[in-house]
Amino acid sequence: MVGQRFVQLLHNHPTFEISVLAASEKSVGKQYAEACRWVLDEDIPSQVGDIIVSSIEPSGHAKIVFSALPASVAREKEPLFAEAGYHVCSNTSAFRQEPDVPLIIPEVNAGHLELIDVQRRQRGWSGSILTSPNCTTTTIVMALKPLDDAFGVKRLFATTMQAVSGGGHPGISYLDIVDNIIPNIEGEEEKIEKETCLLLGKIVDGRRIAKEIVISVQTNRVPVVDGHMASLSIGFEEKPTVEEAIRVLSEYRGPESVRDLPGAPKHPVIVHSAKDRPQPRRDRNSAAGMVATVGRVRVCPLLDLRLVVVTHNAIRGAAGGAVLNAELLVASGYLQ
């Protein structure tokens, strides 16, 4: 499903062009339209549908490889491409925790890209691996980053309500989730806690230092197609007023190096003033699915502030995030 989102986003991309589509052996040699079972609501781009699927081997003239492989396959294949000179923009969890592999949301920690130099030096690669975080981490961190810059995040409560597409296709069955909620997504809570601290951390002497935040996450799967929602309560070093928090979120632009990337939204965070927003279905597609929509910013009786945030898990939280990472890579000169 993330693969299909990659196809959708890259098909009309202003600077990237799809030259090779690679998949597992059972698809090799078939037309993509026949090999994939296209499940997105928009039609498959017809030129792309005609491409003959290749095997997952480093070959062809492409410079960037977008990977939505299963983690175990990614673990084996992605390094082969990096070694052969390709830049792998991965949406898998395979290498996210490696100390020399950047885990990046451009508006949050574009500077971590410098880890690539460490990575290439240490591993002797002419290419590289660059990862984007778990979709729910993305939702949470996009709302946290402006506040962390301004007031210092120290504690975080998060209850997530995650869309079904976050589990890929076919994912959970209708019989299991309609008129229902599943109060756990295996392994997700740990990932969110770790990745959040990494993304808000810093690079010192080529080493990644995770930020120390005490985090408590409760994940839930809800009957929503696309759009992860998180209800957050945040404790700060310096407690802001609600108005200050709203201003900081609304005015956030991200690092300058990121603002002009083709896929970067003008404002990474949109603050909605209506009392019943954000909503997954009505806000997930704002700004082409690349923003975090925040609402209900208010005082928390226990920590300092509470808010609710929604992002499109399959675009911003997956394929769109990895494409933006690739744009950052290009803009940073790594392809020359």
- Nearer to a second copy among residue 115 and residue 314 (C-beta): 314
Can you give the C-alpha Rg of the chain in angstroms?
Answer: 19
Alpha-carbon span 132 to 228, nearest angstrom:
16
Q: How far is the CB of 37 from a second copy (least distance, A)?
A: 10
- Nearer to a second copy among residue 225 and residue 335 (C-beta): 225
Sheet of 64-67, strands arranged across: 64-67, 87-90, 128-131
Could you tell me which residues come within 8 angstroms of residue 309 by beta carbon, excluding any fewer than 6 positions away? 139, 140, 142, 143, 229, 230, 232, 278, 292, 293, 294, 295
Residue whose token pair is 């130099």: 117
Q: How far is the CB of 38 from a second copy (least distance, A)?
A: 9
Q: How far is the CB of 210 from a second copy (least distance, A)?
A: 15
Tokens found for residue 37: 């079972």
197 an active-site residue? no
135 an active-site residue? yes
Catalytic residue among 36, 87, 197, 228: 228
What letter represents residue 18's amino acid? I
Catalytic residue among 135, 197, 272, 312: 135
Chain residues in the site for a second copy (CB under 8 A): 39, 41-43, 155, 157, 159, 161, 164-165, 169-184, 186, 193, 214-216, 218, 220, 222-225, 229, 231, 233, 275-282, 285-286, 295-296, 300-303, 306, 308
Tokens found for residue 319: 């394929």
- Nearer to a second copy among residue 47 and residue 273 (C-beta): 273
- In Å, what is the CA distance from 279 to each residue of 18, 160, 171? 33, 13, 22
Torsion of CA 72, 123, 210, 114, to 10 degrees: -120
- Nearer to a second copy among residue 171 and residue 206 (C-beta): 171
Q: How far is the CB of 232 from a second copy (least distance, A)?
A: 9
Catalytic residues: 135, 228
